[in-house]
């Protein structure tokens, strides 16, 4: 929604908004664009001369004071996804990046590849890409890269958001069960992806992993568009990669007889998969793989995706937007490959709706296997016993930020070399508070 606000502002509209728990980096981007955001949902937050209200899908049901004011005052309203489809994407070549994991990173990669190639794309990213100053812009060419989420659109439109985008180039990166607050099972998610495939024209392209059984099950239900497969190492894929370093910080992209090296600051096998999908999407709009590989060698990542927020001779601290056990596991595996045997401390807040419900309780403990020590932070409204995650001598559960900070600092004093804070929320400001404590520690030294 913050990115949509930025796009509306760039189109020339006067934009205001309301939200709860607004925090950086998005709050800083909105302020920089001159967009005023009021805290909380109140009728008074909607200006008297408002022409259109765009209603998001987070905690905005009937009964919400702002929603009720819109209805009572007869103000025209729509959803964010419908606004995009109707007013912004209709005449664009839409490159949509979908899947359970890696959407934000892959969308940022595609946008940067096209920018590097001189194609000045528009884009909307659910984060802040390091190669740009903004998370969304209109662009100067027909190409528009968008993070295509399967979450429902709004309280009045239960279809997945991506059904409003009508992509010509579609990436389906992977598919797992998620969003337990709106989907009862994986099959319901797969049905939404099946509907998405029905919107892609026969002159378009569907890019997907070669051997993801959940994705292939969707494709088997019907696909009316040419397909292009990617895989990290299977020669049967149209596009694949050969690792040059174990931590995946260097690899070679292979397309038939064509080879192109990527030497970048990212790591992890999951990011190699993201890169292959991005290169394939860029290739569909005319970027050669050698140019795409050169662009990715200058890719700076995305804020809150294993972003290093502190470094000293004794410890490095990372911020990661973890929303699912698989995302936690692949991120920590990538760090382990990079740092070898150096001690890793993971602080994980299972803050997503799905993890708070306990849907992934059985796999959460295993997801942190690559960390030496784990602190599980108990968020509010957890409906299951997180004590089941505790492994004697290796992990613990905390529910107080200050106590958690004490434990983190103790682990750093005992030699934790890499500290990874993993949450898809604000996490009670723990990042800032930890950096303050580390600053005091360094000053004391």
In the predicted model, is pLDDT for residue 444 greater than 80? Answer: no
Confidence of residue 412 (pLDDT cuts 50, 70, 90): very high
Confidence of residue 356 (pLDDT cuts 50, 70, 90): confident
CATH number belonging to domain 2-75: 3.40.50.720
CATH number belonging to domain 88-296: 3.40.1190.10
Where in the chain is CATH 3.90.190.20?
A: 307-444
In the predicted model, is pLDDT for residue 66 greater than 70? Answer: yes
Distances in Å between the Cα of 407 and the Cα atoms of 134, 331, 395, 416, 419 are 36, 22, 11, 11, 12
Confidence of residue 10 (pLDDT cuts 50, 70, 90): very high
Q: Which of 235-239, 386-390, 409-413 has the lowest mean pLDDT?
A: 386-390
Residue whose tokens read 């949902």: 41
In the predicted model, is pLDDT for residue 354 greater than 90? Answer: no
Sequence-distant (≥ 6) Cβ neighbours of residue 14 within 8 angstroms = none
Tokens found for residue 71: 């209805």
What are the CB-based long-range contacts (under 8 Å, 24+) for 226-234? 226/202, 228/280, 228/284, 230/273, 230/276, 230/277, 230/280, 231/276, 232/269, 232/272, 232/273, 232/276, 234/210
Is 444 in a helix, a strand, or coil?
A: helix
CA torsion, ordered 439, 423, 147, 333, to nearest 10 deg: 90
Please check whether residue 97 is in contact with residue 162, taking contact to mean a CB–CB distance below 8 angstroms. Answer: no
Tokens found for residue 290: 């050698």
Q: What's the CA gap between 181 and 323, in Å, rounded?
A: 13
**Averaged pLDDT of the chain:** 92
End-to-end CA distance of the chain: 44
Instruction: Tell me the mean pLDDT in the region 315-331.
Output: 88
Give φ, ψ of 186 to 5 degrees. -65, -35
Confidence of residue 391 (pLDDT cuts 50, 70, 90): confident
Where in the chain is CATH 3.40.1190.10?
A: 88-296
Tokens found for residue 444: 């004391």
Q: What's the CA gap between 120 and 112, in Å, rounded?
A: 9
In the predicted model, is pLDDT for residue 405 greater than 60? Answer: yes
Does this model's pTM top 0.85? Answer: yes
In the predicted model, is pLDDT for residue 329 greater than 80? Answer: yes
If you compute the radius of gyration of the chain from its CA atoms, what whole number of angstroms results? 22
Q: What angle do CA 358, 79, 428 make, to 5 degrees?
A: 40
Residue whose tokens read 């934009």: 15
Q: What's the CA gap between 71 and 77, in Å, rounded?
A: 9
In the predicted model, is pLDDT for residue 91 greater than 70? Answer: yes
Pairing of strands 169-172, 205-209: parallel
- pLDDT tens-digit readout, 166-220: 999 999 999 998 887 888 999 999 999 999 999 999 999 999 999 999 999 999 9
Tokens found for residue 63: 């009964």
Pairing of strands 227-231, 205-209: parallel
The full DSSP string for 103-148 is HHHHHHHHHHHHHHTT---EEE-SS-BTTSS-SEE--SSSEEEEE-
- Alpha helices for 288-373 (secondary structure H): 289-296, 325-339, 353-356, 361-367
In the predicted model, is pLDDT for residue 445 greater than 60? Answer: no
Q: Find, among 317, 406, 328, the residue nearest to 365 by Cα.
A: 328
pLDDT at position 442 is 67
User: In this structure, how many other beta carbons lie within 10 angstroms of the beta carbon of residue 76?
Assistant: 9
Please check whether residue 361 is in contact with residue 384, taking contact to mean a CB–CB distance below 8 angstroms. Answer: yes
Pairing of strands 258-263, 250-255: antiparallel
- pLDDT tens-digit readout, 147-168: 999 999 999 999 999 999 999 9
Q: Find, among 301, 298, 425, the residue nearest to 309 by Cα.
A: 301
Please check whether residue 7 is in contact with residue 136, taking contact to mean a CB–CB distance below 8 angstroms. Answer: yes
Residues in the chain, how many?
Answer: 445
Render the burial of 277-315: b for 16+ CB within 10 Å, e for the rest.
bbbbbbbbbebebebbbbbbeebebbbbbbbebbeeeeb
The DSSP bridge partners found for residue 374 are 346, 395
pLDDT at position 169 is 98
**307-444: CATH topology:** 3.90.190
């Amino acid at each position: 929604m913050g990115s949509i606000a930025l796009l509306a502002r760039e189109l020339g509209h006067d934009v205001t908004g309301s939200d709860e728990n607004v925090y950086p980096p998005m709050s800083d981007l909105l302020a920089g664009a001159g967009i005023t955001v009021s805290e909380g949902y109140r009728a008074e937050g909607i200006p008297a001369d408002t022409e259109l209200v765009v209603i998001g899908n987070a905690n905005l049901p009937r009964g919400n004071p702002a929603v009720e004011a819109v209805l009572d005052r007869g103000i025209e309203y729509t959803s964010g996804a419908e606004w995009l489809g109707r007013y912004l994407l209709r005449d664009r070549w839409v490159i949509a990046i979908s899947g359970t994991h890696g959407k934000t990173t892959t969308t940022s990669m595609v946008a940067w590849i096209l920018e590097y190639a001189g194609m000045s794309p528009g884009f909307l990213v659910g984060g802040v890409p390091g190669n740009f100053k903004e998370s969304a812009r209109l662009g100067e060419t027909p190409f528009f890269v968008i993070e295509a989420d399967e979450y429902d659109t709004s309280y009045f439109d239960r279809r997945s958001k991506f059904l409003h985008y009508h992509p010509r180039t579609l990436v389906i990166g992977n598919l797992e069960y998620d969003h337990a607050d709106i989907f009862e099972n994986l099959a319901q998610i797969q049905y939404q992806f099946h509907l998405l495939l029905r919107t892609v024209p026969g002159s378009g392209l569907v890019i997907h992993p070669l051997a993801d059984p959940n994705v292939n099950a969707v494709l088997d239900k019907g696909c009316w568009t040419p397909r292009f497969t990617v895989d990290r190492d299977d020669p049967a894929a149209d596009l694949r990669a050969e690792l040059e370093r174990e931590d995946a910080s260097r690899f070679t992209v292979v397309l038939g007889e064509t080879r192109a090296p990527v030497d970048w600051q990212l790591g992890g096998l999951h990011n190699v998969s993201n890169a292959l999908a991005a290169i394939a999407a860029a290739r569909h709009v005319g970027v050669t793989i050698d140019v795409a590989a050169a662009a990715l060698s200058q890719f700076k990542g995305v804020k809150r995706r294993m972003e290093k927020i502190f470094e000293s001779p004794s410890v490095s601290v990372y911020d990661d937007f973890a929303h699912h056990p698989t995302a936690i596991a692949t991120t920590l595996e990538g760090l382990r490959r990079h740092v070898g045997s150096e001690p890793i401390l993971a602080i994980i807040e299972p803050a997503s709706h799905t993890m708070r419900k306990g849907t992934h309780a059985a796999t959460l403990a295993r997801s942190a296997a690559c960390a030496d020590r784990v602190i599980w932070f108990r968020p509010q409204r957890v409906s299951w016993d997180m004590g089941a995650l505790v492994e004697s001598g290796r992990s613990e559960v905390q529910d107080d930020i200050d106590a958690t900070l004490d434990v983190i600092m103790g682990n750093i004093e005992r030699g934790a070399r890499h500290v990874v804070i993993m949450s898809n929320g604000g996490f009670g400001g723990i990042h800032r508070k930890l950096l303050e404590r580390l600053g005091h520690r360094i000053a004391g030294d």
